[in-house]
Amino acid sequence: MLYRTLGFIALTLLTQATGADMKATTADGREVLLRDNGTWTLVTDQSGEESSQQAALTLEKRFDLARGCRLGLRLKNDLTAQIRTLVLRFTAYKDDNIPFETVSRGFSYIKPTVSQYQEISFRGITCDEISAVEVSAARNCHVGELTKYSASEERCLELIDISASDVLPIAKRISAD
């Protein structure tokens, strides 16, 4: 710990001596610009939004159950912040437009560049009977500056990108707005 502190102080002094701005990454994965005047700012993209990607949700596996279907999902955190909590809702559709069952699954404590595997089960419907799976988000997401008090369902859902799957059709809920 002492060496880390001494290294940071030396780096700060060196930066101030050369008079150049420098980029650094915080412990939670956000990129900051350290200015030669001792101030700092978060790095943003051209639109003024904090630079980040989306977390990638992939449907990887399908398990046929006696009277149900279990699906294996992977969420890879490509965001610049840790996913502390992200609760997603999955709806199995039967015959293209009949929502049969909705289950929730939470992903938690996923650091940037790391993935987490979870499984969900739908009861009373076989995998062959599922025509599609729709993903929506609960208001319960805690990612970066977003908390369960400041995030909306739409904002939580914007954090993820859903990859096409050969296992079953899967997509985000399209808002009716």
For residue range 41-84, list pLDDT tens digits in order.
Answer: 566 544 444 445 899 999 999 999 999 999 999 999 999 899 99
- In this prediction, residue 140 carries a pLDDT of 81
Question: pLDDT band at 139, cuts 50/70/90?
Answer: confident
Provide mean pLDDT across the span 121-136: 94
> Per-residue confidence at 4, pLDDT binned at 50, 70, 90?
low
Residue 68's Cα: distance from chain center in Å? 27
Residue 90 pLDDT greater than 60, yes or no: yes
pLDDT over threshold 50, residue 97: yes
104 and 134 in contact (C-beta within 8 Å)? no
**Which tops the pLDDT comparison, 150 or 78?**
78
Nearest of 158, 136, 156 to residue 146 by alpha carbon: 156
Higher pLDDT among residues 26 and 87, named by residue: 87
Residue 28 has pLDDT above 60, yes or no: no
Question: Looking at the chain, how many residues does it have?
Answer: 177
Q: Report, in this order, helix, strand and coil percent for the chain, each rounded to 5.
A: 15, 50, 35
Q: Which residue has the higher pLDDT, 85 or 4?
A: 85
Which comes out higher in pLDDT, residue 135 or 34?
A: 135
Rounded-to-10 torsion of CA 140, 176, 168, 76 = -40
C-alpha–C-alpha distance, residues 18 and 28, integer Å:
27
Greater model confidence, 175 or 169: 169
- In this prediction, residue 7 carries a pLDDT of 52
Q: What is residue 153's predicted lDDT score, i.e. its pLDDT?
A: 86
Give the whole-number percent of the chain exceeding pLDDT 90.
49
Measured distance between the N- and C-terminal CA atoms of the chain, rounded to whole angstroms: 52
